[in-house]
Amino acid sequence: MPPFDSPCRRAIHRHGAALGSALYDGAPSGKDYRSLRESLDRLAWVRVTIDGYDIEHGEFRDRWVSRDGLMALSRTDSQDPSGLQRPAIKLADWLRQALDEEKVVRVHWRTMRAFHERQALAKRLWLYLAAERWSKMTADSDGTWIACGDRLYAALGMDYAEHRFARRALKSACATVHKIDPRYAAGSLELTKLGSSWRIQAERPTWDTWKQQREEQAQVRALIADSLTMACVARRRGAAHDGGPRKASPDVGVQRPT
C-alpha cells in the first residue's frame, strides 16, 4: 500500500501527475488519467458497511454495524498547464482517525496490483485474509481459518443461488491467491470440509521466516546468474579461440537418395 503521512491530513490534495505516478510506477498515460478520475468518482459514491466497528467512537464492538462513505471529492476551478483539473480529496473523519491511529491493514502494493480485473473475488479474498487474526501453527508458520457461510459470502460480495456454486467460486479464488501471492505459494490455501461444514484453511510462513527464505532465494538466483554468465563467457572465448562459431554441415541429418 502506498505510504501515507502520519498524522493524516484531513484534506488531501494531490496533483494528478504525482498521484498517477505513484499508482502506475511511472508517468501515466492519458488513458491512465481517465481511469484514475473515474476511480475517484466511484470511490466518492461508495458506502461501506463495517461489521464490528463503531466509526463514531473509533472502537471495535461485537454485534455492531456501521455504514458511511469513504471520502468526498471536489475539483477546483484552477487547472495545471496540461489542462487537467486538480482533484481535492477529503477523507471521511472515521477513516482519517483510523489512519492516524494505525488501525489499518498493510498489504503489498505490487501483489495487489498483480490481480487481474477479472479476478475480483480472489483479490477480495486476499484482502479479507490480510485482515484476519493469524495464529502460530509452528515455529516457522502462521495459520487461520474462515467459516464458509452467509457472513463470508456477504463480506466478499458473493451472490449465488446455491452454496455449492459459491464454494466452487471460492475454491477457484483460493487457487488464484495461492498462485499470485508467493507467500501463500510457500504455504497452503484451500477450501476444506470439516464434518458437515466448509471452511477456508490457510497457512503461510511467518514474516521473519519469509524474509529469510526470500534472502536465500535471492542468493541462489544470484549464484545461478553468475554461473550462466561465466558459462557464456567461456563459450565465447572458446569460439574466438577456434576461429569463430562453426556452422553445421548441410548434410548432417539428411539422407540423400541413392
pLDDT at 223: 72
Protein fold of 108-205 = Arc Repressor Mutant, subunit A (1.10.10)
Integer Rg of the chain from CA:
26
User: Are 10 and 90 spatial neighbours (Cβ–Cβ below 8 Å)?
Assistant: yes
Of residues 12, 4, 101, the one with CA closest to residue 57: 101
CB distance 54 to 67 below 8 Å? no
Please tell me the predicted confidence (pLDDT) of residue 92: 87
Q: What is the pLDDT of residue 142?
A: 93
Q: What residue ranges do the domains of the chain occupy?
A: 1-104, 108-205
- Could you say which residues of the chain have pLDDT below 70? 1-20, 75-87, 213-221, 240-258
DSSP for residue 166: H
pLDDT at 254: 46
Helix H segments across the chain? 16-24, 30-45, 93-100, 109-113, 120-130, 150-155, 163-180, 182-185, 207-241
pLDDT score recorded for residue 9:
40
pLDDT at position 12: 42
For the segment 48-102, what is each residue's pLDDT rounded down to a tens digit? 877 777 777 777 777 777 778 888 877 665 555 555 556 678 888 888 888 888 8
Contacts 24+ apart (CB under 8 A), 86-89: 86/13, 86/14, 86/15, 86/16, 87/14, 87/16, 87/37, 87/40, 88/11, 88/12, 88/13, 89/11, 89/12, 89/13, 89/14, 89/40
- With cell 491511529, the residue in question is 101
